[in-house]
Structure 1
Amino acid sequence: MHKLQVQGLHHITLMGADRQTSIDFWEGVLGMPFLFEQPNLDDPDQGHLYFDPGDGRLITIFTSEDRTPDPTRTPTDPGCVHHIAFAVSQSMYSQLVDRLNARGIDHSGEKDRGFMNSIYFKDPLGMLIELASYRFKPPLGATHADVLHEAHMVRVEQGDDAIGDPHLAIAIERLSARRQRSLSD
């Protein structure tokens, strides 16, 4: 039996509160351009807002003026979304704490994840948001996923618990050697 092969994330749709709360957060705080809106085609009593998270894909929000923001943490039961992570550059990452503090947004502070750095905070509806920045650049012709897969293999070979800089460096070296030819070989 053949797989249903996906080719990337198309969009994520979230349940929002009122229209302006969504615009203020997704565009005003996270800088995602507000592309367009239309009614929710399955429920015309709701709005459907479309935002670009920076890669040309979409984050969409169902809104209703009857719903008000509730900052209580969203459920983390099985089947629920724990958090959504968005990529930021290292230069933006270095400013996140100051920028979140300036807006009065409570956050986790910087988190070292071995292969990336992260900061967590909640949106106005209690959804946990992560802003993450990889600590490496993939070699030409490779993706972040290629590097992480190879780094995982290195980590397992070395018996380590989590991916760190040494694993990434070896992974990048291995991927580069596979993709680049040299007369010295």
Structure 2
Amino acid sequence: MKTEQELLEAQTPRSVNPKIFTMWLFIVSIVMLFAAFTSAYLVRKAEGNWVEFNLPDLFYYSTGVLIASSISMHAALIAAKKDQFNALRLSISITFVLGLLFLVMQYYGWSQLVEMNVYFVGNPSGSFVYVFSGLHGLHLISGLVVLLVALVAAFRLKINAKALTQIKICSTYWHFLDALWVYLFLFLLINN
């Protein structure tokens, strides 16, 4: 038999933090965007006149850098849960630097594409690689902004074991961006 407290808790509607809900809406919209682009890629490739080429070597290395940034982001979340403020700041900083390094490597990956005579304008196979990596890069820049805001909050001690919403949002969004790149990279490897 349930106690009166348990009955009250069962009747109380559960609510979602509006910031977390907004982040998930944003993530869903990004998923829809890239689902549309990957579908368009497959449809256009099936039409023919498709140039085959290898992805730049730097895309492989930048993927490793982004995976490493997910590890440091996870370390930041763990540090926040334990009120380890120095480790939290260091982990967010490492994640930020790795995110910047990823963007620089992507830029030089584009240079490698140009050296292979793969341009944005021309055969659609090259255009899609630029669109995928460029749009992901733009979203990663937004992730870097989220990281900077979290870093400032960490220095102000606004992220701690009792106030985890901001670092959870930051961590979820960053892991999503990492997973999105891994998906795009594997998609291009398999379908290029």
Q: TM-score normalised by the shorter chain: which range applies?
A: under 0.3
Q: Which structure exhibits the higher relative contact order, with contacts defined as CA atoms closer than 8 Å and separated by 6 or more residues?
A: 2
Q: TM-score, length-normalised on structure 1? A: 0.28
Q: Which has the higher helix share?
A: 2
Structure whose residues are more often strand by fraction = 1
Q: TM-score, normalised by structure 2?
A: 0.27
